[in-house]
Amino acid sequence: MKITKNLHFIPFKYEKVNIKFFKLFHKITKQKNEILNSLSKNYQNNYTKNLISGLKRFKFINLIGIGGSSLGALSIYKFLKKKIKINIEFFDSLNEIVINKKNKNSLNVVISKSGNTLETIVNSNILFQKKNNVFITENNDSYLISLANKLKATIIEHNNFIGGRYSVLSEVGMLPSELMGLDPKKFRVYDKLIKNKKFINALLINVSNTLNLIKNKKTNSIILNYDKDSEELFFWYQQLIAESLGKEGKGVLPIISNMPRDNHSLMQLYLDGPKTNFYTFFFVDQKYKNKINNKIILKSHNYLKDKYIFDIKKSQFNATQSVFKKAGIPFRTFIINRKDESSLGELFCFFILETILLGQALGINPFNQPKVELIKKETLKNLT
């Protein structure tokens, strides 16, 4: 099913969508919702073009954040890396930090919705310099606001109504994208998509199928990813699905599988193990430069002559789908025709709308994460 010029989608199975899902979709898209607004070209970024122009002199950027504060920008940086000329290092966990003294004239971009994220405070403390610091955080009484004021740094207000995992097309993802030389307007394709009947049908068939799988006790969502540069996109998706739907004993566990490598480690379990999984195949239909050297290929493998790595990987991709289909294993497929802002924007929109619709259909709030605070409170006890 070709749903846009960039995106082919094959659902778990074709079926007529229940009218209740159309009603739910229209109800959600008609409501005032800052998350959906951030996907639209009408969204106003909380920073100016003059600020971006001034910051573009930096060719080295440290992006300091964790979870939704960094995963969106990281997925953009990796997915579109061939278009990006600057270097960004992401500090999104607690690891040993080696400061590159050659990049003294670097920019620190610090992102935390609350302004009190422990890991972000620690990493920024180690990396900080007296100048060249930008903060994206809520306008409230927080540690990072106080630190930014002390350093006389630039503060960009994080939209209070957009949680971190949904913030990829707000300031959180778009300021780093503009520094990468990318265009926020090209990412924000929501207005076109919600008028696209093929997109809406694909989305709602997907939600209906997924709900049926969950009801049948299939709650492990395995992403079979055939594009290395898309791995961070699925780490972003992993947080989106897990943190939005994992509540009240419900939810889906997203697991990222690197293909075709995992044919040689996990495929036996996928094909012959517990029947609690459903699968997503993801493939980018763009050729690589590497080609088989015909001069040194042995006769036994003449079928490899003139083949590119891409040809071999695509054969594996098609073969695995065929085996899954014959075995009756539920899967859906995304095929991307080209990598640019609009194709990535379509995926962001699809997955965000999918998550919100699934949450509403399951009767849970897809926008909060109440249990996450328990770890934060216990950590604070241990440190004080």
User: CA 238 → CA 205, 212, 220, 324, distances in Å?
Assistant: 21, 20, 11, 23
Cβ-Cβ contacts under 8 Å for 192 (sequence gap 6 or more)? none
Closest CA to 366 of 257, 277, 250: 250
Q: How many CB atoms lie within 10 A of CB 329?
A: 16
Those residues with Cβ within 8 angstroms of residue 111's Cβ, 6 or more apart along the chain or in another chain: 63, 64, 65, 69, 70, 120, 135, 136, 137, 158, 172
* pLDDT at position 377: 87
pLDDT recorded at residue 18? 86
Can you give the C-alpha Rg of the chain in angstroms?
A: 22
Question: Distance (Å, rounded) from C-alpha 67 to C-alpha 375?
Answer: 15
Beta-carbon contacts of 181 under 8 Å, excluding residues fewer than 6 positions away, are 56, 83, 84, 85, 86
- The residue count for the chain: 384
Instruction: Report all structural domains of the chain as residue ranges with CATH numbers, in order of start.
Output: 7-29+188-362 (3.40.50.10490), 44-185 (3.40.50.10490)
Cα–Cα distance measured from residue 82 to residue 246, given in angstroms and rounded to the nearest whole number: 35
Task: Break the chain down into helix, strand, coil percent, rounded to 5.
Answer: 50, 15, 35
pLDDT score of 224: 98
Q: Can you give the pLDDT at residue 102?
A: 61
Cα separation, 173 vs 153, whole angstroms:
19
pLDDT at 129: 72
Closest CA to 80 of 289, 233, 240, 261: 233
DSSP 8-state symbol, 114: S
Angle at alpha carbon of residue 96, lines to 254 and 177, rounded to 5°:
55
Q: What is the mean pLDDT of each run of 10 residues along the chain (384 residues)?
A: 94 88 94 95 96 95 97 98 94 84 81 96 87 94 96 95 97 98 97 96 96 96 97 98 96 97 98 97 90 93 94 97 97 96 98 97 94 86 88
Contact (Cβ atoms closer than 8 angstroms) between residue 183 and residue 369:
no
